[in-house]
């Protein structure tokens, strides 16, 4: 069964606004990762957060993880038109040495 | 490093033809993954290798699909015979260790007529 499920499926905001995307999963995880995909391109890794971490930052990105609720969120602050892309969460099960399971993604459109 | 390299970038073929997709992982990476992406099904894991050994091919849709990794720097995904429903973007990704950050290639866009 699919692990990560992103919400919303699509999000449209104005440049400068913050964008929040959520991910829910079903089983215990070792880590959770967020990726970005620009149209017609491969996925690019953004952030990895481990099960014993609650929050991580990278530039304008902030990721939180709530293992009790089996959920994560990705916040992009002060969005730019260049942030327009699809964002995927991917989970790794507790054993660790297993492949990622991707959700179907959130399509973010940032309007200039 | 050049990153993960895939070829060809685009492939148009006719139903029934054999299709071979190629991937060169990042040097030193021990795990390699093949994915398929479509609008309807999203990103699906087809097969992955650890140290050139296939670990899980449960995502391979049918016997028409096969994958090999003869050495640490090269992998192929073959579809024989191809069908229109195989049309998709196929990605290869590699990582130092399964479960850690993956590095994706640019993908091969396959169209089977």
Instruction: Tell which residue, A85, A104, A71, has the closest CA to residue A36.
Output: A85
Reply yes or no on whether the pLDDT at A98 is more than 80.
no
For residue A6, what pLDDT is reported?
Answer: 86
Owner of token pair 């969120």: A73
Q: Do A88 and B43 touch (CB under 8 A)?
A: yes
Q: Report the candidate in B45, B69, B42, B43 with the shortest Cα–Cα distance to residue B57.
A: B45
Looking at chain B, which runs of residues are DSSP E strands?
Answer: 5-7, 10-13, 19-24, 31-38, 42-50, 53-56, 65-71, 74-79, 88-95, 103-104, 108-112
Put simply, the chain A residues between 52 and 81 with a CB less than 8 A from any chain B CB are none
Contact check, Cβ <8 Å, B48/A99: yes
Q: In chain B, which stretches have pLDDT less than 70?
A: 1
- pLDDT higher for B65 or A98? B65
**Which tens digits make up the pLDDT trace of A59-88?**
999 999 999 999 999 999 999 999 999 999
- Reported in sequence order, the residue ranges of A1-112 that DSSP labels E, i.e. its strands, are 5-7, 10-14, 19-24, 29-37, 43-50, 55-58, 61-66, 71-76, 85-93, 101-102, 106-111
pLDDT of residue B61: 87
Instruction: Give yes or no for a contact between A4 and A91, defined as CB atoms under 8 angstroms apart.
Output: yes
Taking an 8 Å cut-off on Cβ atoms, the answer to whether A97 and B43 are in contact is no
Looking at the predicted structure, is the pLDDT value of residue A3 above 70? Answer: no
Closest Cβ–Cβ partner in B33, B99, B105 for A30:
B99
The residue of chain A with its CA nearest to that of B55 is A98
CB–CB contact A43 B91 (8 Å): yes
């Amino acid at each position: 069964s699919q692990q990560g499920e992103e919400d919303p499926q699509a999000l449209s905001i104005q440049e400068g606004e913050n964008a929040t995307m959520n991910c829910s999963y079903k089983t215990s995880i070792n880590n959770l990762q967020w990726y970005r995909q620009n149209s017609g391109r491969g996925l690019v890794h953004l952030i990895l957060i481990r099960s014993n971490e609650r929050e991580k930052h990278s530039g304008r990105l902030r990721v939180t993880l709530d293992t009790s609720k089996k959920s994560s969120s990705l916040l992009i602050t002060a969005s730019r038109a260049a942030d327009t892309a699809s964002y995927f969460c991917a989970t790794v099960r507790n054993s660790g040495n297993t492949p990622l399971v991707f959700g179907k993604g959130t399509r973010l459109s940032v309007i200039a | 490093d050049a990153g993960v390299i895939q070829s060809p970038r685009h492939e148009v073929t006719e139903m029934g033809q054999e299709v071979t997709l190629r991937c060169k992982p990042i040097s030193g990476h021990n795990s390699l993954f093949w994915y398929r992406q479509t609008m309807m099904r999203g990103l699906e894991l087809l097969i992955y290798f650890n140290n050139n050994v296939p670990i899980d091919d449960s995502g391979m849709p049918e016997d028409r699909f096969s994958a090999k990794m003869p050495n640490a720097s090269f992998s192929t995904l073959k579809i024989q015979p191809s069908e229109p429903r195989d049309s998709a973007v196929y990605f290869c990704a590699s990582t130092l260790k399964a479960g850690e950050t993956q590095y994706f290639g640019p993908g091969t866009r396959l169209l089977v007529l």
